[in-house]
Amino acid sequence: MTTRWYHPIRYEYQRWPLWRLDLDLAYILKSLDHKYHPNTLADKNHFLAMHQWLKQHQWPSISDEQALTLCAMGDMMWIRSGWFNALSAGVKQHLTHADLTLTNLETPIDPARKVPKWVYETFHYNAPKDYLTSWNVLPSHIQHVFSICNNHALDQKEEGLQATRNAIREQGTHFHCLGGVNQDEDTMLLTIKGIKIGFMASTFAINHLKTNQSPPNGVPIHLFGCPHREPDWVKIAEHIQKMKSQGAEFIIFSPHWGYEYEYWPDALQRTHALKLIELGVDLILGHSPHVVQPVEMVSINKMDVQCPLQVERPGAKGLGVIAWSLGNFLTIMPTLPCKTGVIFKLELVKKDQQIFIKKIELTPVYTTKAVESHWLDRQVVCLHELSDPQKALKARIIRHCQHISPLMNLGEHQ
């Protein structure tokens, strides 16, 4: 694929007024014809080296029935209808085996405000109170964490942000929210299967935030990968150290970051991610680009000297993980890569007071029209649930996923 003239445009830090029709057109073209290749030869060589290392990596053979299973998904966006069956039978079955899920909820849920019939009529997302209904059929032992630290946090103003937090928590005591109006609502601690996990989240920007307006205290803005503004490393380090002082043994960071419609993070974003690992983050679960990006592993304190990414930090040896973007989990976006996402599955084991990553697996999912439903209904499905007439589509999705990561679980889909 050739680099097009519109590929370098990045709305995330190159914002422009809507009357700039030339830039509007450029971004629309980028949204349809994505940036498929790394920016430089050095970037390409880095990802090739990581790809080869992951193919050869041997997971530790730790037998422990108390392994904690995490399933993480990307952007769960506004859909016109179909909330009651938004999760297919195959997706539900996949999530049934999890102890913990983590998803980026990229729409407010404010029952007091109008739900748009067509999202582009206002550019302000809002979903009905039934939006999370399909999650309630999953076993109640699963702890569900939804991050609302994203650029749509204020689509329904601060009242809508609080309403969204309430709507999530009202689903049950096993539903949790990252993000909110108040201080420290962007972090939390959960103990699952004897492992105390710290969570934190951030976003690159917030739509409809006025020039002189401060973001909500519980939705921090950090511009990772931006050449014009550094993240607030002091604040990030304080959050991490506070959770560690409260007993956190494993820290998950959920950043809304990166650049839309690009398949590979650039060098500066990668540098910032390594800084997060150095500060104490163990797992980064990224979202926002609306396409699937690679998963990489980081050797901590020379855990594996062959790993292309190495960091040193206080404490034991280990492996950190960076999932750059998990893609879309539910969407109305039209292109195949934007309808494709992954379920990121990770198994954690605690042995001799140390946390080990036992296994990582990526399962591709796809947003399509729900079977025997209204033509506007949307549902996220596993690839084996696509019908026989969709074999060509399935093959395209598989080729796309294989290009991104060797960790893809494609066995049942081939």
Within 10 angstroms of residue 2's Cβ, the number of other Cβ atoms is 6
* Helices 267-279 and 41-56, axial angle in degrees (round to 10): 50
Model pTM score: 0.94
Distances from the Cα of 190 to the Cα of 24, 216, 243, 248, 261, angstroms = 43, 23, 11, 9, 33
- In this prediction, residue 18 has a pLDDT band, given cuts at 50, 70 and 90, of confident
> What's the CATH architecture for 41-413?
4-Layer Sandwich (3.60)
Length of the chain (residues): 414
Q: How many CB atoms lie within 10 A of CB 374?
A: 11
| Residue of higher predicted confidence among 40 and 374 | 40
The pLDDT of residue 414: 46
> Residue 327, exposed/middle/buried by CB under 10 A (0-12, 13-18, 19+)?
buried
Dist CA 326 CA 283 (whole Å): 13
A 10 A CB-CB count for 385 gives 19
- pLDDT (0 to 100) of residue 64: 65
Whether the CB-CB separation of 222 and 231 falls below 8 Å is answered with: yes
Report pLDDT digits (tens) over 127-138: 998 999 999 999
Tokens 């299973």: give the residue.
69
Q: What are the domain boundaries of the chain?
A: 41-413
Question: 164-178: string of b/e by CB count within 10 Å (b at 16+)?
Answer: bbebbeebeebbbbb
3-state SS class at 72? strand
Out of 157-161, 209-213, 332-336, 399-403, the most confident range is 157-161
